[in-house]
Amino acid sequence: MTLDKEVMDALVQARHSDPFAVLGQHIIRQDSKTSVVVRAFVPGTQNMYVRSGVNGAVQPMQMLHADGFFEAVFPRRKKLFPYTLISEDHDGNQHEFEDPYRFPPALSDFDLHLFGEGNFFRMYEKFGAHVMEMDGVSGVHFAVWAPNAERVSLIGACNGWDGRRYPMRLHPGVGVWEIFIPGLGEGEIYKYEIRTRDGHLRIKSDPLAFRSELRPATASIVHTIDQFTWNDEDWLQQRRSASVTDAPLAIYEVHPGSWRRVPHEDNRPLTYRELAHELADYVKSMGYTHVELMPITEHPFDGSWGYQTTGYYAPTSRYGTPDDFKYFVDYMHKNNIGVILDWVPAHFPKDDFALRRFDGTALYEHEDPRQGEHPDWGTLIFNYGRNEVRNFLIANALFWFDEYHIDGLRVDAVASMLYLDYSREEGQWIPNKYGGRENLDAIDFLKKLNETVYEAHPDIMMIAEESTSWPAVSRPVYLGGLGFGLKWNMGWMNDFLEYIEYDPIHRKYHQNLLTFGLLYAFTENFVLVLSHDEVVHGKKALLDKMPGDLWQKFANLRAAYGFMYGHPGKKLLFMGGEFGQWQEWQHDQSLDWHLLEYKEHQGLQQYVRDLNRLYRQTPALWQKDFTGDGFQWIDFQDAENSIISFIRRGNDPDDFVVVVCNFTPVPRFNYKVGVPAPGHYAELLNSDSEHYAGGNIGNFGGVDSTDDACHGFPHSIRIAIPPLATIFFKKT
């Protein structure tokens, strides 16, 4: 025997941290002579043999341990040689296979160096599971980060889920483990068995798995990521030549599992491929420019809506395979629809099969719950001060752009990342090194994230869901900002919803809620949002929030959407809001499409369709969303009548739109509005039109201006303003 019993026992008992130093082929000195030894540990095997080379001689191996440890010494060999192993069970059945422990590392020193310093931004090309060839042999290479583990093994159907069978190679220092398993391929199901320093076993899915089992199963699945044939080059070329800031952006926010279901098939959700066709047709008909999907990263609990991610690199298996999701994106692009994903780098769930205490320690999270645990959501907060954690997340953002051609990421819960005391009481948080409440590591992470992503893909969108007054969220890092391209305008949303829920008789006392947003409208690149968060948890659906009788509710909502589309900022509306969903959104059931049998809902849907058409065809409504010279008040002081009026301008100073909103149920006739230029003002859109189930009060297609000065302008128009309505005019 060429091996110490203690070493062999450690390997047989799956305690050895360096199996490649024991197993496989090694040159040894024995009796002052050089020999080659081949060792194998194959539990449950009766006999083992070594075949030298292809069709070479077969030599039996000596069993050194009853659990299946074998050794063969080749005393006349001076150099390593190619070989295969042959196992024989108790019935005499033989199986010949390649030995995983004869293959060299696939990770280079440079790969490991980049990862250790947090700059291996294509780490998904090497980490996780990859079908490949080594030395002409096909198999799968696995790599995982677990620096505090005593031992990591690949387990799966390939070895009977026996953690003794495939212990992995450790790269000391960076704590990365890897192994190449010959003979495995696409579709193999696997996990990692991790032995912690205190002797406990943890069974973990792969943090970089490209595919996962369908819940409630949690294993990872080997998937080749680059087999899909893309057909969206025209879209990508168009995207490269466009600018997000001065282009129309009307986003339809969608939860894939509940947009539309299949009632005659046990109410199942649509697959990615089914959703691609049905959603693309609908979004095109409605005139939206983009869809924004609530998180499609793998998650175990449907009720988290995807915001508690366990598989950051895997589209959820609920709706199909990764290639099915690529088909969805590709089909959207071929129909000139952009795709934005909600992405959650702020926190992750405590499910024990995933990232939590991955190697027995707080690896991805903080050890101290005052830093590492989110009090609101019962989740764990990423440790942004760790190079490898930042690397994991930044690489993940790039992954969705590189591999799935995504057009934007909406980064969830940015406010919770920026503040150490977010949702915490005194004594429940730890100040930063300067004694402040800012999370300096998270700030650095966000800046690095945005710089890296925009450097690689300058034509995409990084959108922050940030609910505080943190300055310069959507300003470049070199100007002191966080580097996002866009920011959700949560302040506008809260003020506007508060205003529109008031009974019209009280609105005159709250006109400031409509106008306050214009004081800061150009400090960020804002997206105006009426999102899923506003139609759940007892907040009521948008239509049900509106005061008044049935007619007034619909009129109120049409007027509200008109104000939103006239206001500076890009637009986002959650699914169901476009046709007047009555009940709150439910993640496990379809939208109430049957409501479109009623004219009021048909009218609201048609109005949103026409709003999107008008918006996209009118540069004055989007070319200068983020600069003050694109907006001018006409009158914001008529609180008594709850009427406001303003002008939107595009790059052409003579190209402007007049927007007038009446938020009371009282029609106003012969109402005087100042305008900057003489001419005929065509009525572009009137939310009270009979086409939208309104009362059909209007201006017979338009009005002519007079030289009667008003509101500081040299000209004016006299118009009929319907009750609870928004009207758009343009000089022709």
Which helix (H) or strand (E) is 152 found in, with range? strand 149-156
Which helix (H) or strand (E) is 128 found in, with range? strand 128-134
Strands 189-196 and 149-156, by their bridges, are antiparallel
Tell me the three state secondary structure of residue 129: strand
Is the separation of the CB atoms in 409 and 461 below 8 Å?
yes
Which helix (H) or strand (E) is 333 found in, with range? helix 322-334
Q: Which residues contact 233 (CB under 8 A, 6 or more apart)?
A: none
- Alpha-carbon 180 to chain mean position: 30
Among residues 126, 130, 129, which one has the least CA distance to residue 114?
Answer: 126
CA distance 390 to 11: 34
CA distance 307 to 345: 10
387-404 and 440-456 helices cross at what angle (nearest 10)? Answer: 30
Q: What's the angle, vertex CA 689, arms to CA 683 and CA 690, rounded to 5?
A: 150
Which amino acid type is present at position 367?
Answer: E
Per DSSP, what are the bridge partners of residue 211?
Answer: 221
Residue 351 annotated as catalytic: no
Is the separation of the CB atoms in 283 and 338 below 8 Å?
no
Which residue has tokens 């009218």? 603
Tell me the three state secondary structure of residue 46: coil
Q: What is the DSSP letter of 385?
A: T
Which residue has tokens 């696995």? 142
Q: What's the angle, vertex CA 236, arms to CA 270 and CA 333, rounded to 5?
A: 20
Catalogue the E-assigned strands of 257-399: 261-262, 268-269, 290-293, 297-298, 311-315, 338-343, 347-348, 373-374, 379-381
Question: Which tokens belong to 178?
Answer: 């890897």
Question: Which residue is catalytic, options 98, 150, 465, 600?
Answer: 465
Kindly report the backbone phi and psi dihedral angles of residue 434, in degrees, each rounded to the nearest multiple of 5, phi listed first.
Answer: -100, 5
Among residues 495, 498, 511, which one has the least CA distance to residue 642?
Answer: 511
Rg (CA), the chain: 31
Per DSSP, what are the bridge partners of residue 181?
Answer: 140
Which residue has tokens 């026992």? 9
Per DSSP, what are the bridge partners of residue 632?
Answer: 647
CA distance 518 to 718: 26
Which residue has tokens 């969805």? 328
Among residues 532, 524, 611, which one has the least CA distance to residue 248?
Answer: 611
Residue 465 annotated as catalytic: yes
Question: Which tokens belong to 549?
Answer: 């009788």
Is the separation of the CB atoms in 83 and 102 below 8 Å?
yes
| Biggest alpha carbon–alpha carbon distance for the chain | 113
Please report, to the nearest 10 degrees, the dihedral formed by the alpha carbons of residues 492, 495, 501, 507 taken in order.
-120
CA distance 637 to 645: 9
Is the separation of the CB atoms in 554 and 221 below 8 Å?
no
Question: Which tokens belong to 723?
Answer: 């009750």
Query: Can you say whether the dihedral through the CA atoms of 285, 291, 294, 298 is positive or negative?
Result: positive
> Burial, 303: exposed, middle or buried (Cβ in 10 Å; 0-12, 13-18, 19+)?
exposed
CA distance 108 to 280: 44
Question: Which residue is catalytic, options 298, 373, 412, 466?
Answer: 412
Q: Which residues participate in catalysis according to the annotation?
A: 412, 465
